[in-house]
Amino acid sequence: MNSDTQIDILKLKHIHFMGIGGVSMSGLAQIAKNQGITVTGSDIAESELTKKLEDEGIKVFYGQKASNISKDMDLVVYTAAIGPDNEELGKARELNINTMVRADYLGLLMKMANNVICISGTDGKTTTTAMISHIMLETDFDPTVMVGGMYDKIGGNLRIGKSSNMIVESCEYKDSFLSFFPTTAVILNIREDHLDYFKDINHIRRSFKAFADKKGVKTLVICNEIDNVSDFTKDASYSVITYGKGGKYEACDITFDEFARPSYTLLEDGKEVTRLTLGVTGEHNVTNSLAAIAVCRNYGVSYELIEKLLPSFHGTDRRFQILGECNGATVIDDYAHNPDEIRASLKTLSKFKHNDSYVVFQPHTYTRTKSLLKEFAKELSNADHIILAKIYPAREKDIYNISSQDLADEIMALGKSSIYMETFEEIEKYLKNSCSHGDVILTMGAGDVVNIAKDLIK
């Protein structure tokens, strides 16, 4: 019996998680262990997350081989990136062990909860999920939190609460979030991304609409600045809370300090409520904070508590994160990997006090680079100095006839120069020789470009 979504999780004795080193999968493994289930897992290579799981007594296999699968397993959970020719998956099915994609398993956990806040959107999910959690953890909500990044306040990417409440970052890739069961659905934005799966922006919008319309949704929190937002709000069978320009919650009179941290006046239904200061940088985080306020107010959190806590939220790892210095230049790392995120990061950088900026960008996946080449070039051309690393392939093979040199050529066509370097060592040497006191080095991308930043500050 395979892919049976009617499984009773609490009756399972042994679950095996494929890709257990992933941020989401490692969290699911920890939840299962906390429920008293025997947990094993596998991944391609050792990482900080797999080492943490091993320290907690979870057996991790390195390399996904058929021999890792045993008859005593009740369920094998795998990621959407696992192909049908995978040895472990094939062996599990051969032994007639239940198999389930990660999103379906997480959906089963949600079915067991009373309140489930799911945060979706093409940008800002991790920060907003952590920001909502930062506030709700100071109430009696006591949620289980699953966030797609490392968040200091919960000591990682997972926090297991004692209540039947959940706060979960919800990814749209391959329609994963359609396996979830939110009671509060949050949509931050809807933009072109993951075009290796989605056909176009209309396909993406249909998926988000299906997410909002999931059975069990009681409240939709949505950004009022999304194109044709009425497609999501009209004739809704649930309550709708909007934020952003023209929404229930708005920000005005935005100012920034020398570190690009914003302050703004909060409006509710057009009336001034209070003046707020954020501990994270950039105007995009003003919008993220409005989403967090909308969610928290819906659960009865006071403005006094929100006003007190927002300045102490400093974000998650790899979100415009100041790591240290190199030759007196400030080294910052950011997860930005699509044109809108790059625009937001560079806009934040413009508010950050500095001399010259050196932006190192590592494109993420061949399909994204190819489909958004012109958009990438347009946004990157706003940096002072642009250095391009090789494309990070992630789950893809190099069959798309695209490279970072093509991006460099596109930037050149806009009248801006950039440098493409094959290795991280070349990039690091160039930066050490070029940067000086008062400059900023910003590494950007969803791959391993952060290693450049880490090397520079050693």
pLDDT score of 6: 65
Angle of helix 339-351 relative to helix 373-380, nearest 10 degrees, comes to 0
Instruction: Decide if 445 contacts 313 (C-beta within 8 A).
Output: no
Q: Per residue of the chain (458 residues), what is the pLDDT tens digit?
A: 344 456 888 899 999 999 999 888 999 999 999 999 999 999 989 998 999 999 999 999 999 999 999 999 999 999 887 888 899 999 999 999 999 999 999 999 999 999 999 999 999 999 999 999 999 999 999 999 999 988 999 988 899 999 999 999 999 988 999 999 999 999 999 998 887 888 999 999 999 999 999 999 999 999 999 999 999 999 899 999 999 999 999 999 999 999 999 999 999 999 999 999 999 999 999 999 999 999 999 999 999 999 999 999 999 989 999 999 999 999 999 999 999 999 999 999 999 999 999 999 999 999 999 999 999 999 999 999 999 999 999 889 999 999 999 999 999 999 999 999 999 999 999 999 999 999 999 999 999 999 999 999 98
Helix, strand, coil percentages, rounded to 5, for the chain: 35, 25, 40
CA distance 13 to 450: 39
pLDDT score of 83: 82
Is residue 237 exposed (0-12), middle (13-18) or buried (19+ Cβ within 10 Å)? exposed
Mean pLDDT in the chain? 95
Angle of helix 125-136 relative to helix 284-298, nearest 10 degrees, comes to 40
157: part of which helix (H) or strand (E)? strand 156-159
CA distance 126 to 131: 9
Neighbours of 439 (CB within 10 A): 22
> Three-class SS of residue 144?
strand
Percent of the chain surpassing pLDDT 90? 89
pLDDT in tens, 204-227: 999 999 999 999 999 999 999 999
What pTM value is reported for the model?
A: 0.87
Q: Which two tokens stand for residue 417?
A: 């120069």
pLDDT score of 290: 98
Angle of helix 373-380 relative to helix 404-413, nearest 10 degrees, comes to 60
pLDDT in tens, 258-311: 999 999 999 999 999 999 999 999 999 999 999 999 999 999 999 999 999 999
pLDDT in tens, 17-44: 999 998 889 999 999 999 999 999 999 8
Q: Which residue has the tokens 């941290």?
A: 261
pLDDT score of 151: 93
Which string of DSSP letters, residue by residue, matches 27-90? HHHHHHHHTT-EEEEEESS--HHHHHHHHTT-EEEES--GGG--TT-SEEEE-TT--TT-HHHH
